[in-house]
Amino acid sequence: MTTFKIDNILTVSKICIGADHFGTAVDNRLASRILDEYMDRGGSFIDTANVYGKWVQGAGNASEKFLGEWLKSTKKQVVIATKGAHYNFDSPTVMRLNEKDIRADLEESLTALKRDCIDFYWLHRDDTSKHIGEILETMEGLRGEGKILLYGASNFTAERLYEAEKYAREHNIRGFSAVSNQHSSATVNRGYNTNPDPTLVIHGAEEEKFHQSTGKPLIPYQSTARGYFAKIHGGVSIPDSLVRAYDNEATREAYKEVLALAERESCSVQTASILHLASSPYPIIPITSVKKIEHLPDLFEAMEKI
């Protein structure tokens, strides 16, 4: 599997494994097996977040805590990306993109992951009431202290990303090294996303222009649209929520392209959906979550072909 170097600093595998359900829906034993096999196949990039697990009462930041223990058992080189500054679930309209809350989340992540420095730190949500310069200077301060190596923007619109690029250039700072928004080869019907959270940013035409013009890497979540294409091809029952979200002409055209790709590459439709997304004029590193061992072959097939 080929690798990619983010900002010529962090070398990562070109498929990132999502750890959002580790420590909760995926128990520690199964999660360890998934990660061990992923690493054995050449994977090296794991995505988590301070908030993962906090939706389960009493679980806390379960994903990070699990990873902190698992990291002690592996001798392989691992790049960990985690996220902070998500809103509290009991106050979803109150953004937490300020230095105090960012630092609190970061310290909690460092403790859970048992690390002195986070390889890649995502800001999980934006707060458009804040000047982009204030946000970037906070992150530069944390980088200067050696608490993070690189940082990026998750759920930021193209408008804000252009502002960040301009500020970083004018003030001679590194700025965002990558972007993580929702993106797959399936097009989302407006107002029917499977996750109705209004603070999520779905990669659209303006975001596409941003990435094409800057070459900035996109590291998207929900990169296979919850397996939508594979479900159609397999003839399985598809939840109404997925149909409402993705049933449209653009998605049907993309499905035809994915099927053709699967035939050319002699691979599964799930694998082809990852390859289709990653075949872009700018770098795309899909985040793929795995909750069952039987999902691994499709992931490994993509890792071999990407």
Task: Decide: 16 and 287 in contact? Cβ < 8 Å.
Answer: yes
Q: Topology of 3-305 in CATH?
A: TIM Barrel (3.20.20)
Return mean pLDDT, the chain: 96
pLDDT at site 56: 76
Distance CA 152, CA 141 (A): 14
**Three-class SS state of 163:** helix
The answer to whether the pTM exceeds 0.85 is: yes
- Cα(58)–Cα(177) distance, rounded to whole angstroms? 34
DSSP annotation of 22: B
Encoding tokens for residue 73? 């058992």
59-63, 177-181, 275-279: segment of lowest average pLDDT: 59-63
Q: Span 277-289, mean pLDDT?
A: 96
Does the pLDDT at position 7 exceed 70? yes
C-alpha angle with apex 212: 206 to 216, nearest 5 degrees?
Answer: 100
> Residue 75 has what pLDDT?
87
When pLDDT is averaged across residues 84-98 and rounded to a whole number, the result is 94
Structure confidence at residue 47 (pLDDT): 98
Model confidence pLDDT, tens digit, residues 20-66: 999 999 999 999 999 999 999 999 999 999 999 987 766 789 999 99
Does the pLDDT value for residue 1 go beyond 70? no
User: In 3-state terms, what secondary structure has residue 134?
Assistant: helix
User: What gap in Å lies between CA 227 and CA 229, rounded to an integer?
Assistant: 6
Edge-first strand order for the sheet with 45-47 is 179-180, 148-154, 118-123, 79-84, 45-47, 16-18, 287-289
Catalogue the E-assigned strands of 33-74. Answer: 45-47
User: What angle, rounded to 10 degrees, do the helices at 158-170 and 205-214 form?
Assistant: 30
How far, in Å, CA of 54 to CA of 72, rounded? Answer: 23
Given a cut of 80, whether residue 11 has pLDDT beyond it is: yes
pLDDT digits (tens, 9 = 90+) for 227-252: 999 999 999 999 999 999 999 999 99
Please count the residues of the chain. 306
